[in-house]
Structure 1
């Protein structure tokens, strides 16, 4: 049975309100600096939160090459390369570095995402932070508030977003709801 026009309009208003709320929450997280509660050593595997325009809300895996002073690290990226196609090396601040996220078991990946869940999507050589904005068929639409893009991805490209806080990984509260609303 199809929803009435009033129900569809109410749902659309609710959906837009939730999209705005989630966008504000994600922007607040993406623009904040990482906690510097962990000191990394040469050889540690990490994620680097890029803070340049066009990259805010993205994380790239890297290896610590060395410390540079008290608050910087020299890193070698796993997936980013320079003009010669060699792994890109860069100096980043300690507030851009966090440990690698723990592996998410199969029950935490795959087809278990709900509308408005905060997720990371592996795209363009890194993990990009957004939230589930819809689902069509087997693909999830993910909205990226820092870029304004809304793109469909297969579930294998997604993971639940986690934040590094007080020396441990935290899952944000699930904001989701089931997709069959009518």
Structure 2
């Protein structure tokens, strides 16, 4: 019986080690400013990074309203509303917080394409949040979010592979 316990302990240690490594990678991505060389125009569809405590590691869909003072855009969010919920929230953001909308990922619609430890974005709470798959039970993918410490189950249709905009192209970060 001892070898089985040793095997389970080694497996759990490998899992914990992988979780810690991925958590550090995700944390470093969350605080990193996108390297944007693309200049956006009025009415361009974009995603905007949040750098507020509790929202680090999330992106929100928006439209460029105008180009403002050096290195700033005025944007209008698609899913975030003003405090009185009467209109879409508009705000001034820096160039480093804005990126193009990632391409649609057809492969994620076919199901069963995500694997344990894949880095993903999850659409939740009005935005895209990044983390990694920490477990799979049936049709549910448990995603761990290092920036919040949450581990939550989602269906595959709420996930997309984590992508980074670099050198004017998208790179999937599996």
Q: TM-score range by the shorter chain?
A: over 0.9
**Within 5 Å, which residues of 2 pair with 1:21-100?**
21-85=21-85, 86-100=87-101
Moved beyond 3 Å, runs of 4+: none
TM-score (norm 1): 0.91
Query: What's 1:129 paired with?
Result: 130
Query: What's 2:147 paired with?
Result: 146
Q: Per-residue deviation at 1:168? A: 0.5
- What runs of 5+ residues in structure 2 fail to find an aligned partner? none
Give, in whole Å, the separation in 2 of the partners of 1:17 and 1:40.
Answer: 40
TM-score (norm 2): 0.95
Give, in whole Å, the separation in 2 of the partners of 1:82 and 1:119.
Answer: 28
Query: Pairwise CA RMSD of aligned residues?
Result: 1.1
Q: In the alignment, is the contact (CA less than 8 A) between 2:75 and 2:92 conserved in 1?
A: yes
Cα shift readout 1:58-93 (whole Å, capped 9, x = no counterpart): 000000000111211000000000123210001111
Secondary structure of 2:79's match?
Answer: strand
Q: How many residues align?
A: 170
